[in-house]
Structure 1
Amino acid sequence: MTQAEWRRAERQAKIAARLATSADERAEIAARVAAGLDALIDFSAKPTISLYWPFRGELDLRRWMADAHGRGAIIALPLVVAKARPLAFRRWFPGCAMTRGIWNIPIPENGPEITPNVIIAPLVGYDEHNYRLGYGGGFFDRTIAGIAGTRLVIGVGHPSAKTDGFVPHEHDIPMDVILVGGAPVYAAERGAQ
């Protein structure tokens, strides 16, 4: 099996596993991840945090997103600009006008692009070195590589997202921290380069 075939099969298996998880269990995992985010993020610094609108069984962190906004964080949602390009981010706040983006995912309808310094990326899978298996478009890796300066990259997902056999591409970038409902896993602890 080639690495591309392995990635396709692993994506299908991981997405199927999280979709098979009950709504109650997903909510419980999301609550634990939200508590982990509270412990990791310094709200006194008024961070600009990128999140995501949940899709295909991803953890629903929208309640946490609204709470983070209420605590002074600037919230950004990602926009797909074009294939093989980094994501752009547009400011979100409760009640802002929304429209449908790629894959019919809601995005803020208008407003200027902003650059986050905390990136919360949904995981399809992850490995022992905190590399993220996404949907295959490379959007988050290109985005992370293009953001200069200090930033914190947090991968969030289901406990079933852990995988073995992952061979990172040259452009893959490990997450600084992985949160899948338990204690955070830091890249340095796992030997990521």
Structure 2
Amino acid sequence: MISDEKGAPPETQEYASPPCFMHELSPDFQAVQQDSWPDVTRWRKAERTRLIDERLLVGAEERTAKSERIATALDEAIGKVSGRLVSVYWPFRGEPDLRNWAVRVIMRGGRIALPVVIQKAWPLEFRVWSPGDPLERGVWNILVPSHGPAVQPDVVIAPVVGFDEANYRLGYGGGFFDRTLAAMPKRPLVIGVGYTGSRIRTIYPQPHDIPMDVIVTDE
């Protein structure tokens, strides 16, 4: 499915019991105010835990099938890839696995980059990657290109923990993608990818949140 309507890893969530914190238990609870950042922060933390736990329950065979459906939808969303630089990601904690699709992009004349966390509160850096290039363990033990100059992708594919009807992305809480997009001299085509079950009514977007251009799911 393609929708064109307009991170740090989550910690273990301990839910509060008083009624005023019921928004931590229900994604649709209306007590969260858009301008109340502490409430939104607590609610997002709870949602990350819930959504990641749910996707980790998906079996390997089903996850592969979902990832292939997402790959097919990405071809439709992006169109011609020849001569374009596309940033993907190394899958983490049950995310859709697009590595085979990335190889097909290269075979069709495109180039692939991977995001690299340089340090906390900095924008991401993108480095070109091809099969066989050396990788090293980066932040959160995710594989990243071990060397290479920073590049500016034409297309950025961002995995989502959750997403809403306005194409806002719920990530891991580090703010890396928002910070990166805000700092890029030319905005690329930005595509969020995730499972259909990751859809929520709203992420309660704040002024620093930047919506994706398109959300692609496995439906």
TM-score (norm 1): 0.91
Are 2:103 and 1:58 aligned?
A: no
1:23 and 1:153 map into 2 onto residues whose CA distance is 27
1:30 paired residue among 50, 61, 67: 67
Are 2:185 and 1:154 aligned?
A: no
CA contact (8 A) 2:192 2:212 kept: yes
CA contact (8 A) 1:123 1:134 kept: yes
Q: What secondary structure sits across from 2:126 in the alignment?
A: strand
AA at the equivalent of 2:52? I
1:75 and 1:57 map into 2 onto residues whose CA distance is 21
The alpha carbon displacement at 1:45 in A equals 4.8
Q: What secondary structure sits across from 1:7 in the alignment?
A: helix
The alpha carbon displacement at 1:164 in A equals 2.3
1:121 paired residue among 152, 158, 165: 158
The alpha carbon displacement at 1:165 in A equals 4.2
Total equivalences in the alignment: 182
1:117 and 1:133 map into 2 onto residues whose CA distance is 22
1:52-90 per-residue CA deviation (whole Å, 9 max, x = no partner) reads 000000000000011111111111000001111110011
Compute the RMSD of aligned alpha carbons. Answer: 1.2
1:134 and 1:117 map into 2 onto residues whose CA distance is 21
1:110 alignment counterpart? 147
1:89 alignment counterpart? 126
The alpha carbon displacement at 1:181 in A equals 1.0
**Structure 2 alignment gaps of length 5 or more:** 1-20, 22-38
CA contact (8 A) 1:98 1:109 kept: yes
1:69 and 1:137 map into 2 onto residues whose CA distance is 30
Compared CA separation, residues 127 and 36, structure 1 to 2 (3 A): same
Question: Where in structure 2 are the equivalents of 1:34-45 lying within 5 Å?
Answer: 34-43=71-80, 45=82
CA contact (8 A) 1:43 1:72 kept: no
Are 2:182 and 1:136 aligned?
A: no
Instruction: Look at both structures and tell me which one has the larger radius of gyration over its CA atoms.
Output: 2
Q: Percent identity?
A: 50
CA contact (8 A) 1:124 1:134 kept: yes
Q: Extract structure 1 runs of 4+ deviating beyond 3 A.
A: none
The alpha carbon displacement at 1:150 in A equals 4.7
Compared CA separation, residues 139 and 50, structure 1 to 2 (3 A): same
Q: What secondary structure sits across from 1:43 in the alignment?
A: coil
Compared CA separation, residues 44 and 63, structure 1 to 2 (3 A): closer
Q: What secondary structure sits across from 2:74 in the alignment?
A: helix
Q: What secondary structure sits across from 2:54 in the alignment?
A: helix
**Structure 1 alignment gaps of length 5 or more:** 183-193
1:189 alignment counterpart? none
2:94 and 2:189 map into 1 onto residues whose CA distance is 24
2:56 paired residue among 2, 10, 19: 19
The alpha carbon displacement at 1:42 in A equals 3.3
TM-score (norm 2): 0.80
